[in-house]
Chains A and B, each alone.
Chain A
């Protein structure tokens, strides 16, 4: 518990330092080969996106990093330590939110801390901070069914922030959120990435979303999935969200990725 509540900044950070290393990961589901020899480094403090055609095993790779799924071979290291299961240095944001419908926003956000055995007052004050951070102040006592899809996912995000993990794993977090809320949410996420200084690994099937939020984009090929290409969008993140979406670098990168992925789409 002490490691997880220690400030993230305590971890020495150097250029080229990787928070997560993935080494020769292979994954078979029965006879189906989902992942073939994936080697990847996820730089500390950056947002890396896994992008690929649907069914290519992006989510499988993310769940292997989370320790929820066992790889057939290969290993994952977080801060140099091999992953054998879920751990407090990683937090997961689920595609379907995975909120407890019987619990309030407050309890859902504080749930990771509750499981660690933290006292009620302490965990609630931490949760309150992150509820404010994701813009849900005033909704602490609401239940998930009283919230919109976008707000529910904000709860999921706040829960992941609250445990103060170094690595945040986001599995298509916006796919169940409607288009307009998604845009707003993406903008807010960028601010949180800037503010929280954590390592983000993000799975999406939306090219625009990937280019908009990522420092690095890993393109995966169709099954059996391999790393096809790694792209680092050169976009000025200090610009306003609307300027970014009209930025030539942004549009070029979207086009480049689309050309790369086009032949996978039938």
Chain B
């Protein structure tokens, strides 16, 4: 972007909003919005506390387990749906319902099924992330050119080699896009799961700070969460860029 002939650096818009936040905070118009500088300072102190560290660990653990499940199940189901019409017809209605359904509404039901503990949070992460991974994997598999599969068969690929060496790699750009979108949804899932059900980890801290109107810590917590989600998504995107050339020449 250029403004009055000057090239504006990429993060400039972010700086503008940070500045506005600081001004609004300093003016003391809304007690909900403390100045950004004090939020950042609160953040630095917060990450050093044991409360935050253990909360982050609990959260990270639920998130990692839920995502690992979502990626495994999502890719498997997506491959099956992409390759076999019967599986596709059997599952596509559910995948399409769940991918757009307000899953938060289901979380209390999950609590009844899985109890008040970490299991519910893991299931929530899984349910938030898995559907988009299924859909994207399925699309990727359907885009694998038939001739590549015929090539594998011609040159004697076993079914295992056909999937491991050809089909999954050919669908990799779409699968990665699915994982990236799934990660972002999974972050939502972990917080919603912890907030609504099991008051543990990050959810517990959110609950604590918002109840006591400790806005500095509340916003610091939010910023750390957003930054983590964005970093993960950017990391996957970087890998995606590396395999981008596939799509054109497959």
Contact = CB atoms under 8 A, between A and B. Distances in A.
Interface of A: 63, 66, 68, 85-88, 90-92, 94-102, 111-112, 115-116, 143-145, 159, 163
Among B145, B148, B156, the one with the most A-chain Cβ atoms within 10 Å of its Cβ is B156
Contacts of A102: 169-170, 172, 243, 246
A94 B156 contact: no
Nearest to A163: B155
A66 B153 CA distance: 10
Label chain A's interface by main secondary structure.
loop
Given A88-B156, A92-B154, A145-B248, A98 B161 contact: no
Contact of B249 (A63, A111, A115, A144): A144
A101 B73 CA distance: 26
A92 B150 CA distance: 9
A92 B151 contact: yes
B150 A100 contact: no
Given A95-B147, A100-B166, A86 B243 contact: no
What's the interface size class on B, roughly?
20 to 34
A100 B169 contact: yes
B4 interface: no
A100 B161 CA distance: 14
- 9 tightest A-B CB contacts, nearest first: A112-B155, A98-B151, A98-B147, A92-B154, A145-B249, A101-B249, A94-B147, A86-B154, A101-B246
Nearest to A144: B249
Contacts of B241: none
B184 interface: no
Contacts of A94: 147, 150-151
A115 B155 contact: yes
B250 interface: yes
Contact of A101 (B156, B158, B250): B250
Contact of A111 (B155, B158, B170): B155
Given A68-B150, A99-B249, A115-B155, 18 more contacts: A68-B153, A85-B153, A87-B156, A96-B147, A97-B147, A98-B148, A98-B151, A100-B148, A100-B166, A101-B170, A101-B246, A101-B250, A102-B172, A102-B243, A112-B155, A115-B156, A115-B165, A159-B155
Nearest to B246: A101
B157 interface: yes
Interface string B131-169: 000000000000001011011111111100100011001
Label chain B's interface by main secondary structure.
helix
A123 to B, nearest CB: 12
Contacts of A144: 249
A6 B157 CA distance: 20
B245 interface: yes
Contacts of A116: 156
A173 to B, nearest CB: 12
22 contacts: A63-B150, A66-B154, A68-B150, A85-B153, A86-B154, A91-B154, A91-B155, A92-B154, A94-B151, A96-B147, A97-B147, A98-B145, A98-B147, A98-B148, A98-B150, A100-B169, A101-B170, A101-B245, A102-B246, A115-B161, A145-B245, A145-B248
B151 A86 contact: no
Contacts of A163: 155
B156 A86 contact: yes
Contacts of A95: 147
B154 to A, nearest CB: 4
Interface in B96-143: none
Interface in B198-250: 243, 245-246, 248-250
Contacts of B245: 101, 143, 145
